[in-house]
């Protein structure tokens, strides 16, 4: 019955969630620029910048999710090590 959103899970931190939300918004903004940038403004450079932004922010999103999973595993191992495997702390 391991709930991935336990109390004490680093992925529940407001800063972590805010970073992910900003990265998702940046990916969406980059996609909009890529798809509509040249059509609306006539600038190929704007479309290319949107594509680059979407790719970089998508990569950063993936990296932060990976780091969050690693931190959650580390926190769970520490809880088990200290005898608090029920998510309530030591």
Query: Using one digit for the tens of pLDDT, what is the confidence trace for 2-32?
Result: 555 566 677 888 888 999 999 999 999 999 9
* Residue 64 in tokens: 């932060």
Q: What residue numbers bound the domain in which 52 lies?
A: 15-81
Please tell me the pTM assigned to this model: 0.74
Q: Is residue 7 part of a domain?
A: no
CA distance 10 to 89: 13
How confident is the model over 38-61, as a mean pLDDT?
A: 92
Total domains in the fold of the chain: 1
Task: Classify residue 28: in a domain, yes or no.
Answer: yes
């Amino acid at each position: 019955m391991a709930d991935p959103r336990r109390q004490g899970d680093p992925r529940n931190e407001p800063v972590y969630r805010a970073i992910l939300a900003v990265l998702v918004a940046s990916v969406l903004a980059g996609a909009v620029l890529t798809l509509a940038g040249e059509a609306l403004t006539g600038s190929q450079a704007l479309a290319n910048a949107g594509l680059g932004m979407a790719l970089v922010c998508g990569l950063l999103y993936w990296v932060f999710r990976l780091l969050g999973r690693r931190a959650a595993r580390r926190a769970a191992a520490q809880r088990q090590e200290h005898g608090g495997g029920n998510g309530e702390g030591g």
